[in-house]
Amino acid sequence: MPFPTPAKNKVAVIGAGAVGGYFGGLLARAGVPTVMIGRESFVSAVTRQGLALDTLKFKETVPVQASTELAAAQNADLVLFCVKSYDTESTARALAPFLAPDCTVLSLQNGVENADRISAITGRPAVPAVVYLAAAVPSPGTVKHTGRGDLIIGPDAPRLRALARLFEEAGVGCVVSDRIQDQLWEKLICNSALNAVSALCQITYGEIGRHETAWSVAEAVVGEALAVAQAAGVRPTGMEDHATALATVRRLTSQIAAAYSSTAQDLRRQRRTEIDALNGFIARHGRELGVPTPVNHTLWALVRAAEPRSPSV
C-alpha cells in the first residue's frame, strides 16, 4: 500500500494517550484523516473540544475524530499501535477483525518484542518503531510535549520510506533503518537505565544525570544489559562498549531533561507500569542466557512492588 499524499490515508491511533496523541495529532494537523481510539475520558474531551497539543513549537487545538470502539479502525491504511506492552496480545486479538488486508500496523511501544507479538496474532506483518518522545497527558484531551518527538522504523523497504515521508510532511522526524532490532535494543537499554530510577525516586531524566548515586545505578543497569545483548548476539546502536553506551544514555538525559519517565508517571497515577518489558525483560533474558542481572532484577521487583495491587514477585 503506497502512501501517495497525506489526504488519501486514514490513520487509526489505538491507545490514544501521550504517544498516540502526539504523533496522531500531528498527522491530523497536517490534514491526514485520523481517528483516536482510547479511554472514555480522553475520547470525551477530544470529541467535545478537540485535541489540545501543547508542544515545544506551538500550542494548538486540533479537530480530530475519537472513539472508544476498535471498530473505528476499519478501513484504516495505517494503525498506530500505542497501547501499553502488557495489553499487546489482548488488543491485537480484538483489533484483528477490523484490520484492512493492506493496512500497515506500526508499533509505537516500549520493548523489543511487540511487533512480533502483534504479527503472530493478526497474521500480518507489523512494523517496529523506536520512539523518542517526552510527553504527558496532564488532563484528558491534552498532550504536553517536553522533548524530542522522532521515530526510527524498519527494516528498510519502499513502503516504509513512503511512510517516513508521511511523518516528515507532518513535522515528525522519521528515519528508516536496516538495523531496527539493534535500534530497539538501544532504546530498551536507555529505558531500563532511566525509567525505574526516575519512577522509584520520582526525579526527572536530567536529575538522574546530575545525581551521582542515581547515575551509578543507571551505569550498573547498562553494564548488565550490554552483557545480555552480547550474549543474545545483538549489537545495540551507539553502544559499542560500556563507555559509549553510557555516553548515549547521558545524552538522552540532557535531551529530555525536564521529563519524568512513563514509569514514573504510571506509578504517580497508581497504574500498572511496563517494567516487565524493560528491566524485567533484561532480567528474564539474562537468566535464560546465564548472565547475572541483579540490579535489573532488583529494579524490576521494586517497581512491581510499588504498583497498585501488584502480584507477588
Asked whether residue 3 carries a pLDDT value surpassing 80, the answer given is: no
Report the alpha-carbon distance of residue 60 to residue 290 in Å, rounded: 51
pLDDT tens by residue, 79-117: 999 999 999 999 999 999 999 999 999 999 999 999 999
Report the C-alpha gap between 80 and 36 in whole angstroms.
10
Helices (H), 139-241: 158-169, 180-201, 205-210, 212-231
Q: SS3 of 26, please?
A: helix
Give, for 37, the enclosing helix (H) or strand (E): strand 34-37
User: Going from the N-terminus, what domains does the chain have, and what CATH number goes with each?
Assistant: 6-178 (3.40.50.720), 181-306 (1.10.1040.10)
Measure the CA angle with vertex 150, ends 238 and 67; round to 5°: 135
Tens of pLDDT, residues 280-310: 999 999 999 999 999 999 999 999 999 997 5
Q: What is the pTM of this model?
A: 0.94
Would you say residue 4 has pLDDT above 90?
no
Residue ranges of alpha helices (H) inside 30-148 are: 40-49, 88-95, 114-122
For residue range 209-256, list pLDDT tens digits in order.
Answer: 999 999 999 999 999 999 999 999 999 999 999 999 999 999 999 999
pLDDT of residue 68: 98
Cβ-based burial of 306 (10 A; exposed 0-12, middle 13-18, buried ≥19): middle
